Amino acid sequence: MPQCCICQQTVERWSPHPHIEQRSEFMTMMETVGSDLSIYQCPACRCNDRDRHLWLYMSAVGVTQQIRGARVLHLAHLERLIEALQPQQYVRGDLHPTRAHHLKIDAEQLQFADASFDLIICNHVLEHVANPLRALAEFHRCLQPGSVLIAQTPYAPKLMKTFEVDEPVTPQFAKLFYGQEDHVRLFGADIVDYFHAAGFAGEPLAHDTVLAGIDPQAYGCNRREPFFAFARTGAAQ
């Protein structure tokens, strides 16, 4: 029986995305890596497949053990689980925050001092920002040398280069070619170059490398989605 690693409940089956039929034909043709919409949601706690996969990845490589006492900047989900690990400092935010305890944070202009954090979790943000290199440079600046950025992002490995139009596009165009109306690009196989250009080291880690023996169907995650964890290199600025 499938088991949710977020709520620890056994479920009969994963629920598909409520609008699975609206997935763009271009996303399908490009074999875009992101959510597996057929096993999208836990019927018990409503978490999605990306949340489950991220938590499995973080647990497998020891990130969850390192959070206690660490300084964490978090622009993503899994807030309750991370808070329970008792980080020394836990800053949560969004460009358009909807909760009182979340800060308004612009990833391209972070309001924090150099080397302020030991871990930054910034999931499904880079496909939204105007300049991903600027955002990654800001993450690099705000991380302590040797620490980690986790930045899960949808991408199409069949695309040699990231697909982005140098002008505003309609919501219809964005949904067809970028996968969602508020996305501004579809990253290609060159996505790792963005991280390296900003001073990060590492490569995406495959599911079968990090989670060997973990059945994606049983745990409700996409085997094709790698773990985007990169180390902040260089001396403190």
106-142 residue pLDDT tens: 999 999 999 999 999 999 999 999 999 999 999 999 9
pLDDT bin (cut points 50, 70, 90) of residue 87 is: very high
Q: What average pLDDT does the structure give for the chain?
A: 95
Instruction: Give the pLDDT mean for 208-225.
Output: 96
Q: Which two tokens stand for residue 228?
A: 């985007």
Instruction: Give the pLDDT mean for 148-169.
Output: 96
Q: Report the CATH number of the 20-232 domain.
A: 3.40.50.150
Q: What is the pTM of this model?
A: 0.94
Domain edges within the chain: 20-232
pLDDT bin (cut points 50, 70, 90) of residue 98 is: confident
In Å, how far are 106, 152, 179 from 96, measured between CA atoms? 9, 20, 21
In Å, how far are 140, 173, 193, 234 from 196, measured between CA atoms? 11, 29, 5, 12
Tally DSSP H helices, then E strands, for the chain: 9, 7
pLDDT of res. 237: 58
Instruction: Give the pLDDT mean for 147-167.
Output: 96
pLDDT of res. 22: 87
Instruction: Give the pLDDT mean for 45-64.
Output: 96
pLDDT of res. 236: 65
pLDDT bin (cut points 50, 70, 90) of residue 89 is: very high
pLDDT of res. 76: 73
pLDDT score of 95 more than 90: no
pLDDT of res. 161: 98
Strands across the sheet containing 71-75: 103-104, 89-94, 71-75, 117-122, 143-150, 229-232, 200-201
135 φ/ψ angles, rounded to the nearest 5 degrees: -65, -45
pLDDT score of 23 more than 70: yes
Q: Which two tokens stand for residue 21?
A: 């039929």
Contact 72, 82 (CB under 8 A): yes
Contact 122, 94 (CB under 8 A): no
